[in-house]
Structure formats: C-alpha cells, structure tokens
Amino acid sequence: MSGHWTDDLFIKHADLYQLLLEGMFARAEDEARGLAGLLDTAGIKADALILDLNCGIGRHAIHLARLGYRVVGVDISPRLVERARELSEEHSVARLTEFVVGDSRRVADALSGREFDATISMFTSLGYYDEETDRSILQQCRELTRTGGIFIVETGFRDSIARNFQPHGVIRSGSLLLLHEREFRLETSRMEALWTFLEKKGPNYRLRAEISVSLRFYGLHELISLLNQAGWQYRVSYRDFELREPSLDGNRLIIVAERI
C-alpha cells in the first residue's frame, strides 16, 4: 500500500466506512432521481451506460439501475465493491450493474476499451489527492466518456465550508459513533481532520480507529478551470438537486460538464 489516508480508510478500515455508507443508502434514491433529471436534460436516457467513480457500496449506481440505467461502479476498496455486488443482487439490478475494484488514479487502465454515456463523481470523491492528480482523473474520465457525454460532479463547496466552518462534528450510524476534529487551511483549501471511530458495546463505547483525513475542497471557479483543463466544457452548476443556483448558504456543489 502507498500509505495514503485513502488506503487506511477505504481498505484497512473499510468495515467502518461501510457502516457509514449503509446509513446513507436510502437517501441516495432521491439523489439518483436528481441525477436522472440532469442526464435526461442532457439527452441521456434510461438504458445509457454510466460510470460511477469511487462508487463505494454502490448507493447511486443501484438506484440509477432501478431507474433503468446501466452502471459500472469503480472503487479502490475490495470490501466496498463486494458489498455493492451484494446490494445489487438484493435490489434485483445485478443484470444492470457491474462493480470493479480499481484506483481512480488509474481508472482509464481499469476500464480500458469501455465507453460511457456519462460519468458521475458523488459525495466529494474528488479532492482526495493533489490538484495535478485530480486533473489527471478528470482527463481519464474524459477518455472513457463518449463525445456529447457528460460529467456530473457532486462535492463540497469550499467557499461555503470556509465561511461556515465547524471544527467539530459527530455522526451516528447504528452502533458506530464518528467524531470529527477539523482544521480548514485557507492557504491550501484542504480540510485536515482526525476521524475517531467509536463502537458501542453494551453501555460503553470502545475505540475502533483514528484516521487522519485530508480533503481538497474547490471553489466553483477552480472546478470549472480544472474541468476545462482536463478537456471538458463546463455547462452549468447548482447547489442541490432542486437545481437552485450555487450559494454561500449551501455547502454543496453540483457541476455538469460536457465532452465536446
């Protein structure tokens, strides 16, 4: 392993991250409907082939498949990919989905010879690495997407996150408690955080893991520039799937770009 924090969170402690994703599975249904609306607006109908980059347990891929899309999910975590395959069987969409273990930094190699109608990147799965690597990932996704196809990025909005910064956070998911201690560094636009996982056993919690996480958050103009540098053509952006304009009051960004 490379020693990068993604190995620690998504491979070594994938069982813990899986519990978090399981707790968010249901909400991905509404997000998939929002994705379908954007795809439809771009002329990409059900039965199109979609690439789900860093798919995790397949939350969005499975719900898109339930809407009729064919989806290939790629993730660095063997455990999460295996769980995605199980869930696709449970939701009767295995024939419409395929899940592949692969590193997003080498996604073009993992899916060599494939061509997709659209690519999606959800839940701030861009920004794990440095800007040069993110640009390379976007370029590889362009290579895998047909002319006229689109790229949809859903991610945290740097400007809003910096403005409304919270140094601490807590997430509960079943018996799991995740504590966040965060620092936002303006000079790098990176969120440096310590994730502490606690698991409830009887009346008490026991420490499961402490993982240092570093995420690069982008401003809207930076993401537009990064996409354009990677060969995409920026089209439109929103703050949510209700298609409201980006705002400092909302900490999310949804960006649509086209391969021309």
73 contacts 58 by C-beta, under 8 angstroms = yes
| CB-CB neighbours of 147 under 10 Å | 9
Terminal Cα-to-Cα distance of the chain (whole angstroms): 37
In a 13 Å sphere around the CA of 53, the CA atoms on its Cβ side amount to 30
What CATH number is attached to the domain comprising 118? 3.40.50.150
| CB-CB neighbours of 118 under 10 Å | 28
Angle at 10 between CA 58 and CA 190, to 5 degrees: 105
Same domain, 19 and 107: yes
Same domain, 211 and 222: no
Same domain, 202 and 251: no
Domain that holds residue 170: 160-215
Same domain, 108 and 229: yes
In a 13 Å sphere around the CA of 205, the CA atoms on its Cβ side amount to 14
DSSP element (H, E) containing 36: helix 28-41
Same domain, 97 and 222: yes
Question: How many structural domains is the chain composed of?
Answer: 2
Q: Is the pTM of this model over 0.95?
A: yes
Same domain, 179 and 63: no
- Provide the residue-wise pLDDT of the chain in tens; the chain has 260 residues: 458 999 999 999 999 999 999 999 999 999 999 999 999 999 999 999 999 999 999 999 999 999 999 999 999 999 999 999 999 999 999 999 999 999 999 999 999 999 999 999 999 999 999 999 999 999 999 999 999 999 999 999 999 999 999 999 999 999 999 999 999 999 999 999 999 999 999 999 999 999 999 999 999 999 999 999 999 999 999 999 999 999 999 999 999 999 99
Same domain, 246 and 140: yes
Joined together, the tokens standing for residue 30 give: 């509404």
Same domain, 37 and 80: yes
Same domain, 74 and 98: yes
Helices (H), 67-199: 78-90, 107-110, 131-144, 158-163
Same domain, 74 and 172: no
Same domain, 21 and 55: yes
* Euclidean distance between CA atoms 73 and 65, whole angstroms: 11
Same domain, 80 and 196: no
What CATH number is attached to the domain comprising 173? 2.20.25
